[in-house]
């Protein structure tokens, strides 16, 4: 039994006799054997009779004589009256050693001390005096029987004196009652239970609930953390009270700490993304091909805008305004659009619907030179910014944009020179390789926010001396040599070399191929010797682009500035396997068809796009649509014969299954803007177009017909026929 | 520095009506509204956050509240609660 007063101090009544703390243990040991010893003549353990032991012995009392019982009671009463509150007495802390130490318990018997002698009025039937007492009892009983009428009995009146009553006043402190209520929630218990191990010594400053289980004294220590909860339920104005009474200096240092904490940064990050989601929700839904939700409270004039036609020309006018709000309303319900236009005979026209564009202050003024998706996260896009012309060189940028935040890039890497090419690694998806206008290659780790490159080629002696026009991580089977696939970083640059980079203390490279200038066929027949005597400035032709065969990692195509496309193999550094002649200007891009891997496409500055078959040295198909340099071309990942091309003023989607003369969709650029690159989205029907103003616009391809199987077969047959000619 | 930038960007966003950072005692650390409105928001939203957190944790004590969004007719209130602060952004997403 432990008693606590209101300050929480232990006022358990201690026994009067308190020799020294070390003897406390043996004292307690003594009482137990005393209870076992039920000697008739009083136990006699006086001083060591803690009251709580007395209560424990209640069950044994019956076997004691009453003498012992009263003795015990007296002792108890003595103890209580003599007790003073002894707040200073500290509870002896028993250390581990104390507990382990063997304590010797000495049991001795004191002499018998008579405290009270009440002679008994009961005598046993078997004692010697029994007969005499029985007789006397009998006589007494007889006398009592003869009492009424007997002369020997006289009635006498007595008066008891009533003592004078005296009033005694006693004053005591008011007993303050306080009601305390706490709602204990299950998480509160969970927290407290877990916090038991963490901070057992934490002080409880605030008020405590008066009802507690003694088994968990520590729960109250956690209550002071929940008092904000309870105080809030008590009075709604408590926060405002706190506001007025808090110390100003504490505010300052707390607020600074808040702003600098990591959690805050993260929360800001999420908040920004959520804001973006709110703003861009319809667009993102279209991107992800979800049904778009309309907010029932937010219907402004959607009807009028939604009735806009699907013609590509009118769409550009809408784009020129670059007003996101209008577009958002216009695109809120794309199904309305097609329904409005459809008439029983009319076919819905395919179109590009502009969703949003990745642009921010940083990228304004730069021209988009290349884009690449992350291999692992299809929502992460890396965009390189840098100019193609020599005259426009300034510092370049590589930014990583995430779908979740179209208004600010996730990572910004500033580069010394214009970025001309970039690519994400497949094997280690956090590595981004960036090729620059001065020929250097840097590898960034997108996990870190560090601006510095992880690896830089500036120390390499063999690095390209011209702009790196294209960069790619290529996986190859190293079946013979090592385990699994190894990855190489390969780039092609304007000094005519195809180089493969590796890391050996620093980024270094070796040449895979040196592209020599190829003579034109007709001139070969003329005076070859004359040509050799000509002093050529360089023996090498600048390489502009390359593409590895999707199935065979040893074979790749390289496009040059001369207009030739060479098919090369990794095993030979000098000889080409094939040369494809057809372009009259530098070949800017060459891409294998991902489905039908014998065909590839190339685009060049001579305004044309050429479809080739790998076995034929002559072009299969030449596509001319406008008099502008075609900067970029890309096959659609979904449809066999569809591809996108960016020439300076337009983005065109061609579908060879439909028509080979005209593009299916043609989207004009706004004035002053030139499209420089295209990229298809892998997980959805969208096209990304980069332009010279630094914007990467995301377009949704609508109603692009998938080619029917017989058309595909027809085309394949046709192209194979062509090449056999 | 990055925190400042991000805060500024959030404040400059289209449709964002107000941004507030309030510490654990209900005192605004950063706010774009006037003091009385901020204090009002702080008090009310703090209580709501506490109740929301209590609800989440009652259902599963190992869970915790990470974000709270209140969509009303006129605007949306987004709250990122933490032990030491509350980040509140009020956005009007349609306008």
* A249-279 pLDDT tens trace: 444 555 677 677 777 888 888 888 888 877 7
Task: Please list the residues that pair with A691 across neighbouring strands.
Answer: A675
Task: Count other Cβ atoms within 10 Å, centred on residue B15.
Answer: 16
**Residue A718 scores a pLDDT above 70:** no
CA distance A281 to chain B (A): 10
- Which among A190, A264, A275 has the least Cβ separation from residue B13? A275
Q: Domains along chain B?
A: 1-91 (3.30.450.30)
Higher pLDDT, A52 or A263: A263
d(CA A534, CA B62) in angstroms, rounded, equals: 81
Indicate yes or no: CB of B9 within 8 angstroms of CB of A407. yes
- pTM value is 0.59
Query: CA of A449: which chain B residue's CA is closest?
Result: B2
Model pLDDT, residue A16: 67
In the numeric block, the tokens 């070796």 are attached to A510
Q: Nearest-CA neighbor of A693 among A404, A361, A443, A395? A: A361
B12 touches chain A (CB under 8 A): no
Scored b (16 or more CB within 10 A) or e, A623-636 reads: bebeeebbbbbbbb
Tokens 């200038």 found at? A517
Q: How far apart are the CA of B10 and the nearest CA of chain A, in angstroms?
A: 6
**Closest chain A residue to B95, measured at CA:** A325
User: How many Å lie between the alpha carbon of A445 and the closest alpha carbon of chain B?
Assistant: 19
- How would DSSP label each residue in A69-127? HHHHHHHHHHHHHH----TTPPPPPPPHHHHHS--------PPP--------S---TTS
Taking CB atoms and an 8 Å cutoff, what residues of chain B touch A227?
Answer: none
How far is A406 from chain B, CA to nearest CA, in Å? 12
> What CATH number has the domain spanning A358-478+485-517+538-642?
2.130.10.10
**pLDDT exceeds 60 at position A525:** no
| Distances in whole angstroms, Cα of residue A374 to Cα of each of A285, A402, A403, A643, A713 | 21, 10, 12, 21, 33
How far does the CA of residue A632 sit from the closest CA of chain B (Å)?
34
| pLDDT mean over A446-472 | 76
For residue B10, give the nearest of A187, A229, A271 by CB distance.
A271
Q: Do the beta carbons of residue A61 and residue A68 sit within 8 Å?
A: yes
Dist CA A366 CA A413 (whole Å): 14
Kindly determine whether residue B27 and residue A246, on different chains, have CB atoms separated by under 8 Å. Answer: yes
A512 in Cβ contact with A490 (< 8 Å): yes
Distance from CA of A353 to the nearest CA of B (A): 20
Task: Please tell me the distance in Å from A369's CA to the nearest CA on chain B.
Answer: 27
Alpha helices in A178-261 (DSSP H): 186-198, 219-234, 238-245, 248-260
CA distance A318 to A323: 8
Res A641: pLDDT: 79
Q: Under an 8 A CB cutoff, do A187 and B25 touch?
A: no
Question: Higher pLDDT residue, A223 or B67?
Answer: B67
- How far, in Å, CA of A193 to CA of A207, rounded? 20
Nearest CA in chain B to A226: B50
Asked whether the beta carbons of residue B57 and residue A187 sit closer than 8 angstroms, the reply is yes
> Which of A243, A257, A260 is opposite residue B39, by nearest beta carbon?
A243
Per-residue CA distances from A392 to A297, A386, A388, A418, A437 (Å): 49, 9, 8, 9, 11
% of chain A with per-residue pLDDT over 90: 0
Task: At A633, list the tokens.
Answer: 């071309």
Half-sphere exposure of A37 (CA within 13 A, CB side): 13
Check residue A605 and report its DSSP letter: T
Considering only CB atoms, which chain B residues are within 8 Å of A270? 67, 80
Least confident segment among A208-212, A463-467, A689-693, B89-93: A208-212
pLDDT of residue B48: 93
Average confidence (pLDDT) over A537-548? 74
Q: Is A264's CB within 8 Å of B6's CB?
A: no
For testing contact with chain B, the best of A183, A237, A254, A271 (most B CBs within 10 A): A271
Q: Which residue has the higher pLDDT, A62 or A467?
A: A467
pLDDT single digits (tens) B42-87? 999 999 999 999 999 989 888 999 999 999 988 889 999 888 888 9
Query: Looking at residue B77, what is its pLDDT?
Result: 92
Of B13, B54, B80, the CB nearest to A270: B80
Check: CB of residue B3 under 8 Å from CB of residue A268: yes
Q: What is the pLDDT of residue A299?
A: 42
Token output for A272: 């920004």
- Which residue in A117, A141, A146, A147 sits closest to A133, CA to CA? A141
Which chain B residues in 17-56 lie under 8 Å from chain A, judged by CB atoms? 21, 23-27, 29-30, 39, 42-43, 46-47, 50, 54
pLDDT average, residue stretch A322-342:
36
What letter would DSSP give residue A271?
A: H
Query: What are A516's strand-pairing partners?
Result: A540
Beta-carbon contacts of A483 under 8 Å, excluding residues fewer than 6 positions away, are none
> What is the pLDDT averaged over residues A662-691?
80
Q: Which residue of B has its CA nearest to A190?
A: B61
pLDDT per residue as tens digits for the range A367-395: 888 888 888 888 888 888 887 666 666 77
Total Cβ atoms within 10 A of residue B68: 18
Say yes or no for a CB contact (<8 Å) between B10 and A257: no
Q: Give me the helix-helix angle, B2-12 and A262-287, nearest 10°.
A: 40
| Residues above pLDDT 70, as percent of chain A | 60
From A81-85, A474-478, A502-506, B89-93, the region with the lowest mean pLDDT: A81-85
Position A160 scores a pLDDT of 87
A520 pLDDT above the threshold of 60: no
Q: What is the four-CA torsion angle of A687, A688, A692, A694, rounded to 10 degrees?
A: 150
Can you give the pLDDT at residue A218? 37
Q: Do B10 and A187 touch (CB under 8 A)?
A: no
Give yes or no for residue A597 having a pLDDT over 60: yes
Q: Do B82 and A257 touch (CB under 8 A)?
A: no
How many Cβ atoms are within 10 Å of B14's Cβ, its own excluded?
13
Burial of A278 (0-12, 13-18, 19+ CB in 10 A): buried
Residue B71 forms contact with A (CB below 8 Å): no
**Of residues B21 and A257, more confidently modeled:** B21
Q: Do B82 and A265 touch (CB under 8 A)?
A: no
Of A241 and A564, the one with more pLDDT? A564
Nearest CA to CA, how far is B48 from chain A (Å)? 11
Which of the four pLDDT bands, split at 50, 70 and 90, describes residue A539? low
For range A137-158, the mean pLDDT: 82
C-beta atoms of A258 and B80 within 8 A? no
**Residue numbers in B near A274 (CB within 8 A):** 67, 69, 78
Would the CB atoms of A264 and B50 count as touching at under 8 Å?
no
pLDDT at A316: 38
Q: What is the mean pLDDT of chain A?
A: 68
Residues of A engaging B, defined by a Cβ cutoff of 8 Å: 185-187, 189-191, 228-229, 232, 236, 239-240, 242-243, 246, 251, 254-255, 257-261, 263-265, 267-272, 274-275, 278-279, 281, 295, 297-298, 300, 324-325, 407-408
Q: What is the mean pLDDT of residues A160-174?
A: 88
β pairing state of A543-548 and A506-514: unpaired
- Would you state the structure tokens that stand for residue A128, as one six-digit string? 């010697």
Distance of CA A469 to the CA centre of its chain: 37
According to the model, what pLDDT value does residue A438 have? 81
Q: What is the pLDDT of residue A717?
A: 66
Cα separation of A170 and A175, whole Å?
14
A564-590 tens-digit pLDDT:
888 888 777 777 788 888 888 888 888
Kindly identify which residue of chain B lies nearest to residue A276, measuring between CA atoms.
Answer: B13
What would the mean pLDDT of A163-178 be, rounded to a whole number? 88
Strand ranges of the sheet holding A431-436, from the earlier edge strand across to the other edge:
A419-424, A431-436, A441-445, A455-456
Q: Is the pLDDT of residue A297 over 60?
A: no
Q: How far is CA A445 from CA A283, A398, A428, A455, in A?
A: 30, 12, 10, 9
Disruptive mutation site among A182, A183, A222, A239 for chain B (greatest number of B CBs within 10 Å): A239
Each as own residue / partner, the long-range contacts of residues A334-343 (CB below 8 Å, 24 or more positions apart, any chain) are: A334/A286, A334/A292, A334/A702, A336/A306, A336/A307, A337/A306, A337/A307, A337/A308, A337/A310, A338/A310, A338/A703, A340/A306, A340/A307, A341/A309, A341/A310
Provide the 8-state DSSP code for A301: S
Q: How many CB atoms lie within 10 A of CB B67?
A: 14
| pLDDT for residue A205 | 34
Q: Quick check: B58 and A186 CB within 8 A?
A: yes
Chain A residues with CB inside 8 Å of B80's CB? 267-268, 270-271
Alpha-carbon span A55 to A111, nearest angstrom: 25
Q: Compute, in degrees rounded to 10, the torsion defined by CA atoms A149, A153, A155, A158.
A: -160
CB contact (8 A) between residue A271 and residue B3: no
Q: Where are the beta strands (DSSP E) in A447-550?
A: 455-456, 468-477, 485-493, 497-504, 506-514, 543-548
Highest mean pLDDT among A88-92, A330-334, B70-74: B70-74
Predicted confidence at residue A682, as pLDDT, reads 79
pLDDT at residue B79, as a whole number = 92
How many Å separate Cα A409 from the centre of its chain?
18
Mean pLDDT for A124-141 is: 85
Query: Lowest-pLDDT range, A20-24, A153-157, A443-447, B44-48?
Result: A20-24
Residue A598 clears pLDDT 70, i.e. is over it: yes
Q: Residue A528's pLDDT is what?
A: 40
> Higher pLDDT residue, A97 or A709?
A97
pLDDT at A724: 54
Please report residues of B whose CB lies closer than 8 A to that of A229: 50, 54
The residue extents of the domains of chain A are 358-478+485-517+538-642
Question: What's the mean per-residue pLDDT of chain B?
Answer: 88
Q: What is the mean pLDDT of residues A133-146?
A: 86
Contacts of A300 in chain B (CB under 8 A): 94
Choose from B49, B69, B93, B95 for mutation: most chain A CBs within 10 A. B93
Question: Residue A293: its pLDDT value, please?
Answer: 62
The complex scores an ipTM of 0.80
Residues of B in contact with A242 (CB under 8 A): 25-26
Nearest by CB to A259, which of B3, B13, B61? Answer: B3
Question: What is the model's pLDDT at position A572?
Answer: 75
| Number of Cα atoms under 13 Å in the Cβ half of residue A280 | 24
What distance, in Å, lies between the first and last C-alpha atoms of chain B? 30
Please answer yes or no on whether A271 and B13 come within 8 Å at the CB atom: no
Q: Tell me how far apart the alpha carbons of residues A336 and A330 are, in angstroms, rounded to a whole number.
A: 10
pLDDT at A435 over 70: yes
**B26 with A242: Cβ contact below 8 A:** yes
């Amino acid at each position: 039994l432990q008693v606590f007063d209101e300050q929480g101090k232990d006022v358990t009544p201690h026994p009067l006799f308190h020799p020294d703390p070390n003897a406390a243990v043996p004292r307690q040991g003594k009482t137990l054997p005393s209870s076992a010893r039920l000697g008739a003549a009083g136990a006699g353990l006086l001083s060591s009779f803690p009251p709580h032991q007395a209560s424990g012995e209640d069950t044994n009392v019956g076997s004691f004589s009453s003498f012992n019982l009263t003795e015990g009671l007296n002792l108890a009463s003595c103890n209580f009256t003599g007790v003073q509150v002894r707040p200073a007495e500290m509870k002896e802390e028993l250390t581990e050693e104390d507990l382990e130490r063997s304590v010797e318990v000495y049991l001795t018997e004191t002499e018998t001390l008579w405290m009270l002698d009440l002679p008994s009025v009961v005598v046993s039937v078997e004692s010697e005096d029994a007969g005499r007492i029985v007789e006397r009892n009998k006589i007494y009983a007889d006398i009592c029987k003869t009492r009424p009428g007997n002369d020997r009995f006289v009635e006498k009146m007595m008066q008891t004196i009533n003592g004078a009553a005296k009033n005694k006043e006693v004053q005591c402190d008011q007993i303050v009652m306080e009601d305390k209520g706490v709602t204990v929630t299950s998480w509160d218990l969970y927290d407290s239970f877990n916090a038991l191990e963490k901070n057992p010594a934490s002080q409880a400053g605030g008020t405590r609930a008066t009802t507690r289980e003694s088994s968990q004294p520590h729960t109250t220590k956690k209550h002071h953390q929940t008092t904000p909860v309870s105080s809030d339920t008590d009075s709604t104005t408590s926060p405002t009270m706190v506001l007025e009474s808090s110390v100003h200096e504490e505010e300052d240092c707390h607020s600074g700490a808040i702003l600098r904490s990591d959690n805050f940064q993260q929360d800001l990050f999420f908040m920004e993304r959520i804001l973006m989601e709110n703003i861009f929700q319809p667009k993102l839904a279209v991107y992800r091909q979800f049904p778009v939700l309309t907010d029932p409270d937010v219907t402004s004039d959607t009807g009028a805008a939604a009735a806009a036609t699907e013609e590509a020309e009118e769409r550009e006018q809408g784009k020129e305004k670059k007003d996101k709000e209008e577009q958002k309303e216009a695109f809120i319900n794309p199904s309305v659009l097609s329904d409005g236009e459809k008439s029983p005979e009319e076919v819905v026209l395919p179109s590009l619907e502009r969703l949003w564009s990745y642009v921010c202050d940083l990228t304004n003024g730069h021209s988009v030179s290349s884009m690449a998706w992350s291999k692992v996260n299809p929502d992460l896009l890396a965009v390189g910014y840098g100019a193609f012309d020599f005259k426009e060189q300034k510092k370049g940028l590589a930014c990583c944009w995430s779908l979740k935040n179209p208004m600010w890039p996730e990572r910004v890497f500033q580069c010394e020179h214009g970025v001309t090419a970039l690519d994400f690694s497949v094997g280690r998806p956090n590595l981004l390789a960036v090729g620059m206008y001065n020929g250097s290659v840097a590898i960034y780790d997108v996990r870190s926010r560090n601006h510095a490159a992880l690896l830089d080629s500036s120390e390499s002696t063999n690095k390209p001396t011209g702009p790196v026009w294209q960069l790619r991580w290529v996986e190859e089977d190293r079946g013979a040599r090592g385990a699994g696939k190894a990855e190489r970083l390969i780039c092609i640059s304007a000094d005519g070399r195809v180089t493969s980079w590796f890391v050996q203390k620093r980024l270094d490279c070796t040449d895979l191929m040196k592209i020599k200038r190829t003579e034109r066929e007709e001139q070969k027949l003329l005076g070859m010797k004359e040509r050799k005597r000509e002093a050529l400035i360089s023996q090498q032709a600048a390489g502009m682009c390359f593409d590895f065969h999707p199935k065979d990692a040893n074979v790749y195509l390289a496009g040059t500035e001369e207009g030739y496309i060479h098919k090369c193999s990794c095993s030979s550094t000098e000889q080409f396997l094939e040369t494809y002649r057809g372009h009259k200007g530098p070949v800017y891009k060459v891409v294998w068809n991902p489905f039908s891997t014998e065909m590839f496409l190339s685009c060049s500055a001579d305004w044309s796009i050429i479809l080739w078959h790998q076995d034929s040295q002559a072009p299969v198909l030449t596509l001319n649509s406008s008099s502008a340099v075609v900067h970029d071309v890309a096959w659609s990942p979904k449809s066999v014969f569809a591809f996108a091309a960016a020439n300076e003023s337009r983005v065109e989607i061609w579908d060879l299954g439909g028509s080979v003369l005209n593009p299916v969709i043609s989207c004009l650029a706004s004035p002053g803007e030139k499209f420089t690159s295209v990229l298809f989205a892998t997980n959805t029907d969208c096209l990304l177009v980069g332009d010279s103003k630094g914007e990467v616009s995301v377009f949704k391809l609508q109603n692009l017909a998938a080619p029917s199987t017989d058309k595909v077969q027809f085309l394949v047959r046709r192209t194979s026929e062509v090449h056999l000619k | 520095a990055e925190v400042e930038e991000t805060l500024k960007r959030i404040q400059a966003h289209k449709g964002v009506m107000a941004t507030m950072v309030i510490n654990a005692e209900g005192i605004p650390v950063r706010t774009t509204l006037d003091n009385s409105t901020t204090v009002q928001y702080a008090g009310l939203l703090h209580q709501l956050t506490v109740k929301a957190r209590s609800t989440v944790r009652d259902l599963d004590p190992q869970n915790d509240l990470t974000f709270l969004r209140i969509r009303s007719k006129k605007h949306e209130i987004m709250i990122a609660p933490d032990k030491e602060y509350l980040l509140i952004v009020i956005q009007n997403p349609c306008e």
